[in-house]
Amino acid sequence: MPVACYAKQIAIVIDDIGNHQRDLAFLSLPGQLTYAVLPHTPFSQHFAYHAAKQNKEIILHIPMQALNGKALGPGGLTLDMPKWQLQRTLGHALASLPHVKGVNNHMGSALTQYDEPMKWTMEVLKKRALYFLDSRTTPYSQAQKMANLYGVDNIARHVFLDNELQFEQLQSQLVALKAIAQEQGYAIGIAHPYPETQQFLLQALQDLAAEGFELVPLSTLLENRHMRLVALQQTKDKKQ
């Protein structure tokens, strides 16, 4: 299958969904966004229900211990948890959102640096055939290494779109995301449910298709990335 079939695909994940009713407005944005829903939050199940009705992809946004000691909220995974507790906590969070196709970390700059909790996490995901998106809150994350060890489909975030909410900064980050997609065929951006982000994406997402980019759910990007790698290997084999 030609590599060009999968050129310039972008996945945009909206993190931190579930705390506010206004998060539901993000379901009306155009295109196939992916929504990362916090477990056990006031509107998590309500959001997941409406997302499923609209055939929108959702993933579990599981809180993980951060280096700054910030409060995790319900369902958080911490370094002092033994294996059984971490896996049970993760299992309860997944059970509360049965429509998820994958998981990504909320915070996690501490927890993702350690092999053991990442191994325990990947054991759960492997059994449930879920993928893992590493939000890359630390350059020392072991999440993808452990996901590969356990055969869990995985991928990592490239750009945070809205760390700064001024239009110029949002535009600059989107340009950076598109440049990555142009160079390697795909890119992943993470954004958050801020009103400024919603207003920006309302127009920006409509412009993507006109610029030759395809907005896809994260699972589609993962699947096509594997096909792209297979196609590239076949091309190399033929040249040898």
Domains contained in the chain, CATH given:
8-238 (3.20.20.370)
Reported in sequence order, the residue ranges of 29-130 that DSSP labels E, i.e. its strands, are: 34-37, 57-64, 102-107
> What are the pLDDT digits (tens) for 69-110?
899 999 999 999 999 999 999 999 999 999 999 999 999 999
**Does 3 have pLDDT greater than 50?**
no
136, 127, 135, 78: which is closest to 103 by C-alpha?
135
Q: Give the model's confidence band at 4: pLDDT under 50 very low, under 70 low, under 90 confident, else very high.
A: very low
Distance CA 84, CA 73 (A): 20
For the residues 49-60, what does the mean pLDDT come to? 97
b/e per residue, 19-32, with b = 16+ CB within 10 A?
A: eeeebeebbebeeb
What CA–CA distance (Å, rounded) separates 119 from 142?
A: 9
Provide the whole-model pTM: 0.92
| Chain centroid offset of residue 85 CA | 24
Q: Are 41 and 22 in contact (CB under 8 A)?
A: no
Q: Which tens digit of pLDDT belongs to each residue from 153-208?
A: 999 999 999 999 999 999 999 999 999 999 999 999 999 999 999 999 999 999 99
